[in-house]
Structure 1
Amino acid sequence: MTDENATPIFERGDVVYGDDPFKDEDDARPWLILANHETRPFHGEQYIALTLTTKSWMDGLIEIPEESWLRGGTPDESRIVPWGVQSIDIKDIDFWQGRVESDRVDEAVAALVGELQ
């Protein structure tokens, strides 16, 4: 995460906590930031992200072992949901939660592409 003029700019691999558009207005969850391209419109305002879950019984979830967290983490053991893609807005993000290593992010992107093919 970078901080330009006190407005945070989240980067690929950052995990943020914010609104879940599929639940009630007061519900939120962690999101893994996949893309924040400086050359695209809405840089620093809109992010492509995958949801994280504490569920473990679904096939295809991507584990985040403790050693994959470069900084921060989640209070409960979480997994990446590769089919849970969303475009999230900066105003829906409550706080930065941590950063996951790039190999884990690459695995999540590859799984998302697999879901789309």
Structure 2
Amino acid sequence: MLLEQGAIIWAVDPFKDNGEGRPWLVIGNSEAPFHGEQYICLALTSKTYHDEALPLREDDYDDAPLSMQSHIMPWSVATIERKDIERYVTAVGRHPLEKALERLGRYIDIDD
């Protein structure tokens, strides 16, 4: 399965010991090392208490929206291995993807 930027997948959360899954937004592109085997992703959450989280609106999706109101956590970056991906869920358009990447860039001091 080759995933594009903007894909939302369900995969194991590498930050949890119990093997629970969560939705992830693929932000890496084909220039990333091992793209197709590993994907650079941002975690999504349904929690609303993270002030810096970016909410996803229904019109942000290219495919069907997630079943729960979700938010992108641009500070929660992980490399997800293909073997840990359970399924493709949906995809977002360019606007929310670019907004998340811009926010991540601010966190790591990337100049425009």
User: Counting strand residues as a fraction of each chain, which structure ranks higher?
Assistant: 1
| 1:93 match | 85
Please list every run of 5 or more consecutive structure 2 residues that lacks an aligned counterpart in the other structure. none
Q: CA RMSD in A?
A: 1.2
**Structure 1 residue 58: Cα displacement:** 1.3
**Structure 1 residue 42: Cα displacement:** 1.4
**Structure 1 residue 36: Cα displacement:** 2.7
- Runs of 4+ displaced beyond 2 Å: none
Closer/same/farther in 2, CA of residues 27 and 112 from structure 1, 3 Å limit: same
| 1:110 match | 102
**Structure 1 residue 25: Cα displacement:** 3.3
**TM-score, normalization by structure 1:** 0.88
Does residue 50 of structure 1 match 2:42?
yes
Please list every run of 5 or more consecutive structure 1 residues that lacks an aligned counterpart in the other structure. 1-7
Aligned residues: 109
Share of identical aligned residues, percent?
A: 35
**TM-score, normalization by structure 2:** 0.91
Does residue 10 of structure 1 match 2:3?
yes
**Structure 1 residue 24: Cα displacement:** 2.6
Which one of 15, 25, 28 corresponds to residue 32 of structure 1? 25
